[in-house]
Structure 1
């Protein structure tokens, strides 16, 4: 009888082991198999959330098929305590093991809402946008000018979200004064900026930020990035350029930046100024005159007057020889690169051509013909003022 009992017990144990093994294999297959998501989804892990709460949320959103298997897999992987606060984009068909990796990897959130504080030459914009998981593209929620408009309620409501990300973007050609004045309006930043940074020392680019970041620390990042860009491009510059040091190249790059917004023209514009310096000609470029009038504090907003073209300022290149004493804006990488590796051209003159670009010329007579055509376009548009390098 004991032999029969032992045999039955052994059989029962074997059956249990087979069942357990089957369940483990099934659970492992469920944990690693493609998940139910047909479209990407944004998953939020609240600060201090438990694995149990997160797993139920994931199951409720249709991201995973079984919260219990997810928890067991997390325990087995030693990741149960590794949840990271944030919002994360989960791709279609992600398995439970992939979802677990996403919500425990940490780092910057990959979906949710973002504020882009954009500092432009003519205006500053605060843009609140949200990632659409189905298209992986950001959709604008609200945008406003912090200098001219009341703060929208949508923005106020979003500011309470501890997972809200912040970005500060500088456009090419902004002045240091514009940057500082705009950053004063960035309500998510803190601290004072002791003084305006030197003109040209800030790299136009996009910078990750955060609520409570010091304004001075952000300015320091901009300066460090510009220093690296200038040093790298100076090291690979053309031979024989008429710049005594990187500072002079930065001055020229700021002029190139303000003279054209067309990337394909920068090398030609730089070549004109290089040719003029080599021939001992005055640069005679309007943006330097404008800087002498405004000192970089805002936009002139009108055409230059003849009296201003004749006025003696350190930046008026119709009056002074060579380069002005400082940059006239913060140039971007492409303008610095064009300045240090300009096109090889015979051009000495250029003027606006009515298309957003410029007409270039070798001789003064050719240039005068281009100017006459531009004057006709101006008359048709009811505008006034010539843009570009003028003749002696």
Structure 2
């Protein structure tokens, strides 16, 4: 039987002595840290500190950029071409729009707008913040100017207006063909090119004309879009009243359907001066029957091209013309016209017009050259069977024939019986009625005469 080893008994003093603790276990060998890891740890710590500083700076700059700026009142400022971020911030500082250019540059860099800054003319509101200023320049919200092209101008006149505008730049490559420009108000930014404006005008005309052409009635005696523009240009020059355009267009449509000459005075002017559009005087008596491709007193049907650039309303008036039997119109003294289906009705309208003209003369003042009656011998026999067309004043707004109401045109053709006083119409044209033939006739086609003036054909106008 196994027995435990015996322990020698200790004395009481030995038993009271403390027992020494056991020796600690041997320590594990410490591994040395890699220098790369130490470097990366330090770098990460530095980046955290830097990010905190940058974040705080961005917060301060962001707060500052949204604060109201120093600009006391609205201001227009031009940013020159090829200006960089530094040049722009310095310019804003000089002009009193910002106080801290460095903050403006930092804000532009942080938001990425520094690559989007555009030259141009900008309007900045009073107290505009730095952020608002930066956004306006980066988004290119430049000031918009406008140029208005009135209806009825020729292409040369329109190009001359563009050349006179100092806000536009560059030259026009070529004057557009007559009738290819849509009169309207066009907006543009300072420094836009004139050719770009012309391109917009011609593009808008094509779009408008195509849309209007698709709405034309089947019985319209107009076969092409170009012919529509030609007739619309004549309507445009004949009346400036919107409510009369369809009616005037209807008169010309009726004349085309009856194979009658249009006899429109503006076509005489265009045949003489072309695209310049200005005669600068009254129509001379010999010019009424002067053969030009555009003179509708001489040619049949429409002229070979437009005599101006008609507006959208004039083109729509042609396709939506009034369905009447009217063949004549004359000024009614109120800025409009009196229309007639027959020559007798037209004669009465002319008589009323003459009474209005006579009533405007000052008491005791002799009639002027533009309203005097002249006795003429009966006209020579004529075999013409064509009814006289509506006689009108020179409707070119730049000409001597001007009227009190802008855009209002006058028209009329006084008619006299054989042997009676033959009076000049609104364009100086005399009309006689051949009772034996029962058809109206035009004595000016046989001989020329004037009213107290050897050269000019005077006008009756209010």
Tell me the TM-score normalized by structure 1: 0.65
Deviates more, 1:201-210 or 1:261-270: 201-210
User: How far apart, in 2, do the equivalents of 1:238 and 1:331 lie?
Assistant: 20
**Residues 191-234 of structure 1: per-residue CA shift (max 9 Å, x gap):** 874xx75432333346659979687x876665444333322211
Q: Find the counterpart in structure 1 of residue 248 from structure 2.
A: 269
**Residues 155-203 of structure 1: per-residue CA shift (max 9 Å, x gap):** xxxxxxxxxxxx6x6442233455577788899544874xx75432333
Helix, strand or coil for the counterpart of 2:243? Answer: helix
TM-superposed CA distance for 1:264, in Å, is: 3.5
User: How far apart, in 2, do the equivalents of 1:388 and 1:238 lie?
Assistant: 27
Residues 301 and 40 (structure 1), Cα distance of their counterparts in 2 relative to 1, 3 Å cut:
same
Matched, 1:77 2:111: yes
Structure showing greater Rg: 2
Residues 355 and 30 (structure 1), Cα distance of their counterparts in 2 relative to 1, 3 Å cut:
farther
User: How far apart, in 2, do the equivalents of 1:331 and 1:317 lie?
Assistant: 18
Helix, strand or coil for the counterpart of 2:122? Answer: strand
Residues 53 and 213 (structure 1), Cα distance of their counterparts in 2 relative to 1, 3 Å cut:
closer
| Contact 2:327/2:342 (<8 A) preserved | yes
Q: Find the counterpart in structure 1 of residue 234 from structure 2.
A: 255
Q: Find the counterpart in structure 2 of residue 231 from structure 1.
A: 210
The structure whose residues are more often strand, as a share, is 1
Q: Find the counterpart in structure 1 of residue 89 from structure 2.
A: 55
| Contact 1:173/1:254 (<8 A) preserved | yes
Deviates more, 1:283-292 or 1:32-41: 32-41
User: How far apart, in 2, do the equivalents of 1:76 and 1:53 lie?
Assistant: 18
TM-superposed CA distance for 1:78, in Å, is: 1.8
The structure whose residues are more often helix, as a share, is 1
Matches within 5 A, 1:134-149: none
User: How far apart, in 1, do the equivalents of 2:248 and 2:49 lie?
Assistant: 84
User: How far apart, in 1, do the equivalents of 2:106 and 2:336 lie?
Assistant: 64
Matches within 5 A, 1:1-392: 24-35=58-69, 37=71, 39-64=73-98, 66-106=100-140, 109-110=142-143, 170-176=149-155, 178=157, 189-190=170-171, 193=174, 198-205=177-184, 222-378=201-357, 380=360, 382=368, 383=370, 386=393, 387-388=410-411, 390=413
User: How far apart, in 2, do the equivalents of 1:313 and 1:49 lie?
Assistant: 56
**Residues 91-145 of structure 1: per-residue CA shift (max 9 Å, x gap):** 34533222111112237x427xx7x8xxxxxxxxxxxxxxxxxxxxxxxxxxxxx
User: How far apart, in 2, do the equivalents of 1:50 and 1:97 lie?
Assistant: 17
User: How far apart, in 1, do the equivalents of 2:60 and 2:307 lie?
Assistant: 68
Helix, strand or coil for the counterpart of 2:350? Answer: helix
Deviates more, 1:18-27 or 1:33-42: 18-27
List runs of 5+ in structure 1 lacking aligned partners. 1-13, 117-166
| Contact 2:123/2:143 (<8 A) preserved | yes
Deviates more, 1:220-229 or 1:38-47: 220-229
List runs of 5+ in structure 2 lacking aligned partners. 1-47, 362-367, 372-391, 394-409, 416-439, 441-462
Q: Find the counterpart in structure 1 of residue 445 from structure 2.
A: none
Q: Find the counterpart in structure 1 of residue 398 from structure 2.
A: none
TM-superposed CA distance for 1:373, in Å, is: 3.4
The two structures, once aligned, show a CA RMSD in angstroms of: 4.1
TM-superposed CA distance for 1:259, in Å, is: 0.5
**Residues 1-22 of structure 1: per-residue CA shift (max 9 Å, x gap):** xxxxxxxxxxxxx999999866
User: How far apart, in 2, do the equivalents of 1:87 and 1:305 lie?
Assistant: 50
User: How far apart, in 1, do the equivalents of 2:260 and 2:269 lie?
Assistant: 20
User: How far apart, in 2, do the equivalents of 1:226 and 1:16 lie?
Assistant: 61
TM-superposed CA distance for 1:36, in Å, is: 5.1
User: How far apart, in 1, do the equivalents of 2:273 and 2:55 lie?
Assistant: 79
TM-superposed CA distance for 1:77, in Å, is: 0.6
Residues 250 and 47 (structure 1), Cα distance of their counterparts in 2 relative to 1, 3 Å cut:
closer
